[in-house]
Structure 1
Amino acid sequence: MSSLETLFEAARAVQAKAYVPYSRFKVGAAIATPEGRVFTGCNVENAAYPVGSCAEAGAISAMIAGGASRIGEIVVMGEGEHLVTPCGGCRQRIREFAAPDVRIHIAGPEGIRRSFTLDELLPFSFGPDNLTDR
């Protein structure tokens, strides 16, 4: 199985665990580090809507808790006919741990629908390097 297939299956498995009693819109994310370690996350809602968390944020937290610090590739899996790309906040979270050329694959139940680089999803981004130039 290729690394992309592994990420897809990991995103699918964790998507099923999402806690979404309000929106009923499950999202799963799977991150591979450059070394090939895989970390996953799913969205978790809360009755106070803004307090919920995105799948990408959960996967990044798992990666950091697991001792890794760089994203090599990511799959985000959502439902429905439209592409489920990371929200603005998650694009910025991904930027913190990924290079501009890191691939973000957007998937649906049938497979990968489209792939983007981080730079395509978040052009002219502000990141850690901006703060080292001071």
Structure 2
Amino acid sequence: MSHDLFLAARDAMAKAHAPYSKFPVGAALRTAEGRVFSGANIEIASYPEGWCAETTMLGHYVMAGGGDIMEVAVVAERMARITPCGGCRQRLAEFGRPDTKLHLCDESGIVETTTLGAMLPLGFQGDVLK
């Protein structure tokens, strides 16, 4: 079942807008209800502004009503076993759980599976802002 999530991330990567870095990235998540949301990185002329694939993916997810995130897959064209950047680790932690699966991929499939908690063990907790 996780392979189809990788395929969704890879398909999203093909739509990346990365004219400056030439580093396309795709991401996809699956909710507990089985809904899949994907996104690609989008760069703009004031590079390095723009947004990561995970940010685009989470935007689609939020706009569609969200849900419990069960797993996430991330893939890059030129990097095996890519991980989310620090900012995206925090973004994913905001919407997922520490035990949410995170699939690190290369262009052919899943290379390693870890969790959001392992990627960001001491993430900032938003409940202190209340």
TM-score by length of 1: 0.90
Q: How does 1:106-121 map to 2 (within 5 A)?
A: 106-121=104-119
Identity of aligned residues (%): 46
Supply the RMSD in Å over aligned alpha carbons.
Answer: 1.4
The equivalent residue for 1:97 is 95
**Counterpart code for 2:3:** E
Please identify which structure carries the higher strand content.
2
Q: Distance between the aligned counterparts of 2:37 and 2:6, measured in 1?
A: 12
In structure 2, runs of 5+ residues without a counterpart are: none
CA deviation string 1:62-83 (max 9, x = no partner): 0000111432110001123542
**Counterpart code for 2:26:** G
Q: How does 1:67-78 map to 2 (within 5 A)?
A: 67-78=65-76
How far 1:129 moved relative to its partner?
4.1
Q: Distance between the aligned counterparts of 1:49 and 1:12, measured in 2?
A: 23
Which of these residues, 28, 31, 34, is aligned with residue 33 of structure 1?
31
CA deviation string 1:11-56 (max 9, x = no partner): 1111000001111111000010111100010000111113210000
How far 1:127 moved relative to its partner?
2.3
Q: Distance between the aligned counterparts of 1:80 and 1:61, measured in 2?
A: 24
What is the total number of aligned residue pairs between the two structures?
A: 130
The 4+ residue runs of structure 1 with deviation greater than 6 A are: none
